[in-house]
A and B are shown apart, each in its own frame.
Chain A
Amino acid sequence: MKHTISVLLQNRPGVLSRVTGLFSGRGFNIESLSVAPTLEKDVSCLTLMTSGEDHIIEQITKQLHKLIDVIKVTDISESDYVEREMALIRVKAEPSTRAEILRITDIFRGRVVDVSQKSYAVEVTGTCDKVQAMIDILRPIGIQEIIRTGTIAMTRANKKY
């Protein structure tokens, strides 16, 4: 099963390599990873998607927490959460397919961010599945390049007043 794990860490040199080294050294999967600063100075948030049986996920979270620079580890997929990924997709655009590309982009609420005589680059955000769905639909038209950010996620706020 897929898990989205959020890791708060001290922004020190080499900290990212401590995390990735842990995964490669112990044979854990990383499907995507993204990291950026948070509100707090010198603290970064790393979101990673991984998969494995429950005892593997338990080891992953424990091992992450054992790293000295790690402040907090949350398996976000255990609670109610929102996740987003962004992708930039360059598609071959010929006179016969341009309208179709625009229609698909519209359906997925994406937008065109770069245009040339032979291609369109479109931007799309959504869950990992939605981004994948758009890629699958565009594929027959001829995708030239894909850049994805990897998933980021946030637990939903408590709705009780």
Chain B
Amino acid sequence: MKITGAQALLKCLEEQNVETIFGFPGGAVIDIYDAILAQDKITHVLVRHEQAAVHAADAYARVIGDVGVALVTSGPGATNTVTGIASAYLDSIPIVVFTGQVPTALIGNDAFQEVDIVGITRPCTKHNYLVTDVNDLVPTIREAFHIARTGRPGPVLVDLPKDIMASLVKFPEPKPVRMRTYQPTYEPHPGQIEKACKAIMAAKKPVLYVGGGVIAAKAHEELTELAKKLDIPVTMTLMGLGGFPGTDPLSMGMLGMHGTYYSNMAVANCDLLISVGARFDDRVTGRIDAFAPKAQIIHIDIDPTSISKNVKVDIPIVADCKHALAGMNTWLDRNQDLNVNAEKEKHGPWLKQINEWKIEHPLGYVDDPDVIKPQFVVQKLHELTGGDAIITTEVGQNQMWAAQFYHFNHPRAFMTSGGLGVMGYGFPAAIGAQMAAPGRTVIDIAGDGSIQMNIQEMATAMQYKLPVKIAILNNNFLGMVRQWQELFYDKKYSATPLDVAPDFVALAKAYGAVGLRATKPGEVEPVIKEALKTDNLVVMDFVIAREEGVYPMVPAGKATTEMLLV
């Protein structure tokens, strides 16, 4: 029996265990939307802007640990997804984006709502496809999901011309995808594992430097085992937060530009840096020649291009983080004659030194009895949610305060646009996360600037009854740029004051949501408590200290030890 391309697409999604897709209709995908209406296996979430569909799919993917899906129309629908796709690409998040396209006969004719989206997204997708024959449709979609979820995960785009969706096709039997040109390396080389373990056993001052790869590979248990086995202190990148329990004594929190003093000092002074699923990003390394200058470097990454890209690595291990860490744990257990406990004790002085750094310059801020400090809000959110909420962020100061002061103890609980740094990510991401985890508390920690970049999604949250909480840290500024202007541009606040702003409480009410405001520190806790017990979309407007900065801060291009402190 033959079915239409649109029906085959939905059948394919079902085959890939897709339950929810985020999208926005249009002329080129009208056949697909017709087919969506005729089935009940897949829930479609109608967003209010295509960018939001991709961010929502991104966060959905992060929560469930599998592929997220977005569906949009051709032309502007497709171009609106580019920011979301680029963000997922830099953060290695598995998503498949389906874009409508004009009928094949019209491609290249500058037809209405035609754009070469495959050409546009080539540099920001892991791979992309234009389907030109309905018989290729199902194999292409299967390949797209396979590529998105395996190896170093990433976004894949499939462009679907309108006539292909309307053509008839026989649905091919499911079969495993085998690709001649794409075979990621999961298993580590045993020789490299042995080398790495010996280096670890020889080190006196080791540091585990953990990135998003640990979360992508679901390797947090193996990582925790390794860290505890030998008492190795752990620092995490923005993407790695939650990969190791943030409240564990071995955790040093985040490193880099806004990392903790002790993380940056530990990396600068360690004799062995064990990088797991991280990519030595410039926001982490600062001035590259001053990054971990005394250390031998082990680098575990599934993507060979990440290794020795920015920093020369001594022991490269191309593998899935989970397999590599498990391999190292097994090796260490097997070689008991090396006396793991003695090694553990050997790290005593190093941990003591790190502890001294922690006491010297803890993560902190200057409290004020009259003005709400943003860090205090994040601390209160942590306290009142028991550290158990899913936190999404926008980008800027709000993102850094969330990363610093909400101590994540579990993976897949922190969603942020790490690599691309997209303002407007957090709210649609919260929608995606709430769809994936209906029972959980989901909070978007936002700024008054960035929330306005996708604020139209309040309608989406209301439509699907998603009780997302938005905590706006409102300083009437584009705060992070203002901070740079304060520090490096003689306080010349060019285009950063947001003198005209909506009344967020009234705006929430206009959408049928709940709006709450706190202007004094004493009002923070009641507002959060009220929000947490409200089964509705809630906007919390925290009027915070206008010129509060994010500290520590490593100025761009400086060594990570040259931190500006509170």
A residues near B, CB below 8 A?
A: 10, 13-14, 17-18, 21-22, 25, 55, 58-59, 62-63, 65-66, 68-71
**What is the CA–CA distance of A13 and B179 in the complex, to the nearest angstrom?**
17
Sample of 21 A–B contacts (CB below 8 Å) = A10-B180, A10-B181, A14-B118, A14-B119, A14-B122, A18-B122, A21-B122, A21-B123, A22-B123, A25-B123, A55-B308, A55-B312, A58-B308, A59-B305, A59-B309, A62-B304, A66-B305, A68-B179, A68-B182, A69-B181, A71-B180
Chain B residues in 8 Å Cβ range of A21? 122-123
Residues of B within 8 A of A71 (CB): 180-181
Could you tell me if A17 and B122 are in contact, using CB atoms closer than 8 angstroms?
yes
Instruction: Determine whether B382 belongs to the interface, using a CB cutoff of 8 Å to chain A.
Output: no
Bound: A30/B179 CA distance, A: 28
Interface string of B166-179 (1 = CB under 8 A from A): 00000000000001
Min CB gap B226→A, angstroms: 27
**Complex CA distance for A53 and B122, rounded to whole angstroms:** 27
Contact of A62 among B126, B130, B182, B305 (CB under 8 A): B305
What are the residues of chain A within 8 A of B324 when measuring CB–CB?
none
Within 8 A of A (CB), among B297-338: 303-305, 308-309, 312
Contacts of A65 in B (CB 8 A): 304
* Distance between A26 CB and nearest chain B CB, rounded to angstroms: 9
Task: List 10 A-B pairs, minimum CB-CB distance, nearest first.
Answer: A68-B127, A62-B305, A25-B123, A62-B304, A71-B181, A68-B182, A63-B305, A21-B122, A66-B305, A21-B123
- Contacting A at CB under 8 A, from B93-138, are 118-119, 122-123, 126-127, 130
Q: Which residues of B contact A (CB under 8 A)?
A: 118-119, 122-123, 126-127, 130, 147, 179-182, 303-305, 308-309, 312
Per the bound structure, the CA–CA distance linking A25 and B308 in Å amounts to: 19
CB distance from A13 to the nearest CB of B (A): 7
Could you say which residues of chain B place their CB within 8 Å of the CB of A18? 122
How far, in whole Å, are A65 and B122 apart by their CA atoms in the complex?
16
CB neighbours of B304 from chain A (8 A) = 62, 65-66
Residue numbers in B under 8 Å from A58 (CB-CB): 308
Cα of A65 to Cα of B318 in the assembled complex, Å: 14
Determine the chain A residues whose CB is within 8 A of the CB of B118 once the complex forms.
14
Residue of B nearest to A60 (CB): B305
Kindly state the separation between the CA atoms of A137 and B547 in the bound complex, as whole angstroms.
69
CB-nearest residue of chain A to B118:
A14
Which residues of chain A are near B180, meaning CB under 8 Å?
10, 71
* Chain B residue, CB-CB nearest to A18: B122
**Contact partner, B119, options A17, A63, A66, A70, Cβ 8 Å:** A17
- Residue ID in chain B nearest A22 by CB atoms: B123
State the Cβ distance, B18 to closest chain A Cβ, in Å.
22
Interface centre among B118, B127, B181, B182 (most CB of A within 10 A): B181
- Tell me how far the C-beta of A92 lies from the nearest C-beta in chain B, rounded to whole angstroms: 42
Closest to B181 in A: A71
| Cα(A20)–Cα(B180), bound, Å | 22
Chain A residues near B179 (CB-CB < 8 A): 68
**What's the least CB distance linking A10 to chain B, in Å?**
6
Q: Which residue of B lies closest to A69 (CB)?
A: B181
B184 CB to closest chain A CB (Å) equals: 10
Note all chain A residues with C-beta closer than 8 A to B309: 59
CA distance A10 to B312 in the complex (A): 32
19 further interface pairs, Cβ-Cβ under 8 Å (given A13-B130, A58-B308, A68-B182): A10-B180, A10-B181, A14-B119, A14-B122, A14-B130, A17-B119, A17-B122, A18-B122, A21-B122, A21-B123, A59-B305, A59-B309, A65-B304, A68-B127, A68-B147, A68-B179, A68-B181, A69-B181, A70-B181
Nearest-CB residue, chain A, relative to B180:
A71
Write the chain A residue with the least CB distance to B179.
A68
Bound: A58/B182 CA distance, A: 19
Q: How far is the CB of B367 from chain A (nearest CB, A)?
A: 47
Residues of A contacting B312 in the complex (Cβ-Cβ under 8 angstroms): 55
CA distance A131 to B119 in the complex (A): 36
A66 to B182, CA, bound (A): 8
Task: Give Cα A30–Cα B312 distance, bound, in whole angstroms.
Answer: 24
Min C-beta distance of A38 to chain B, whole Å = 14
A69–B181 CA distance with the chains assembled, in angstroms: 6
Q: Which residue of B lies closest to A13 (CB)?
A: B130
Bound Cα distance A14, B304 (Å): 24
B405 to chain A, nearest CB (A): 36
**Minimum Cβ distance to chain A for residue B144 (Å):** 10
B79 → chain A closest CB, angstroms: 18
Closest to B303 in A: A66
Of the candidates A21, A62, A63, the one having the most CB atoms from chain B within 10 angstroms of its own CB is: A62
Q: In the complex, what distance in Å separates the CA atom of A58 from the CA atom of B119?
A: 26
> How many angstroms between the C-alpha atoms of A22 and B303 in the bound complex?
16
A18 to B118, CA, bound (A): 11
CA gap between A10 and B304 in the complex, in Å: 21
- Chain A hits for B127, CB < 8 A: 68
- Kindly state the separation between the CA atoms of A157 and B126 in the bound complex, as whole angstroms: 36
Give the CA-CA distance A104 to B76 in the complex, in Å: 59
B125 closest partner in A (C-beta): A68
A21 to B126 Cα, complex, angstroms: 13
List the B residue with the shortest CB-CB distance to A72. Answer: B181
Report the bound CA distance from A71 to B312 in whole Å. Answer: 27
Closest to B130 in A: A13
User: Within the assembled complex, what's the spacing in Å between the Cα atoms of A17 and B118?
Assistant: 11
Could you tell me the distance between the alpha carbons of A58 and B307 in the complex, rounded to whole angstroms?
Answer: 10
Q: B residues within 8 A CB of A10?
A: 180-181
**What residues of chain B lie closer than 8 Å to A59, measured between beta carbons?**
305, 309
A58 to B313, CA, bound (A): 13
Across the two chains, which residue of chain B brings its CB closest to A63? B305
* Chain A positions within 8 Å of B308 at CB level: 55, 58
Complex: A63 Cα to B123 Cα, angstroms:
12
B120 CB, nearest partner CB in chain A, Å:
11
**A25 (CB) vs chain B CBs: closest residue:** B123
Q: Which of A14, A17, A25 has the most CB of B within 10 A?
A: A14
Write the nearest CB–CB distance from B301 to chain A, whole angstroms: 11
Q: A83: shortest Cβ distance to chain B, in Å?
A: 26
Q: Which residues of B contact A55 (CB under 8 A)?
A: 308, 312
Residues of A contacting B122 in the complex (Cβ-Cβ under 8 angstroms): 14, 17-18, 21
- Which A residue's beta carbon lies closest to that of B184? A66
CB of A84, distance to nearest CB on chain B (Å): 27
With a CB–CB cut-off of 8 A, which chain A residues contact B126?
Answer: 68
